[in-house]
């Protein structure tokens, strides 16, 4: 599978519009080459550099989507209406939905990971990333990854 965005390329900086310093909307995403046997897709966005890239302590989860239909080929910018059947999990702000990059210090990496599953997971009750990954175990047919970076702008101290 392949995962991309028209907003940024793999390993490039994520534009501020998709962060806490901008509109904090999800970037446009597109994917292709989903296996024919896929019954659903999962999208998880996380920052493994939290809180400080020089001493990371955890992966901060920004977005959790599952049961995306395999015939859907992407999500538009700031998606307001998810494809029919798509379910949302809970991010590390303890809510559903997208939360953009907002690193407290340094340049962080943000991984957009897409998984093709051989099953539909059904209602998991607003799962965390950990609960969703446990439900996915043994069902992943393929995966794709897009990584962007972000560092907050320096404060003007004039």
d(CA 74, CA 40): 13
pLDDT in tens, 55-84: 999 999 999 999 999 999 999 999 989 999
- The CATH code of the domain at 2-150 is 3.90.280.10
pLDDT in tens, 17-67: 999 999 999 999 999 999 999 999 999 999 999 999 999 999 999 999 999
Assigned token pair, 129: 């990333």
Domain boundaries, the chain: 2-150
Give the pLDDT of residue 80.
Answer: 87
How many Cβ atoms from other residues are within 10 Å of residue 115's Cβ? Answer: 23
Q: Is 18 helix (H, G, I), strand (E, B) or coil?
A: helix
d(CA 155, CA 19): 16
Give the pLDDT of residue 156.
Answer: 43
| Tokens 């700031």 belong to residue | 78
pTM: 0.95
């Amino acid at each position: 599978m392949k995962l991309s965005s028209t907003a940024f390329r793999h390993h490039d900086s994520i534009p501020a519009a998709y962060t806490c310093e901008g509109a904090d909307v999800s970037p446009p995403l597109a994917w292709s080459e989903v296996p024919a046997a896929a019954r659903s897709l999962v999208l998880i966005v996380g920052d493994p550099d939290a809180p400080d890239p020089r001493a990371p302590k955890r992966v901060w989860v920004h977005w959790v989507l599952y049961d995306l239909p395999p015939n859907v080929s992407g999500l538009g910018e700031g998606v307001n209406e998810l494809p029919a059947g798509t379910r949302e999990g809970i991010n590390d702000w303890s809510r559903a939905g997208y939360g953009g990059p907002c690193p407290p210090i340094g340049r962080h990496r943000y991984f957009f990971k897409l998984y093709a599953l051989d099953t539909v997971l059904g209602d998991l009750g607003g799962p965390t990333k950990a609960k969703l990954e446990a439900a996915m175990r043994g069902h992943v047919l393929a995966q794709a990854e897009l990584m962007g970076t972000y560092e907050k702008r320096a404060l003007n101290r004039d």
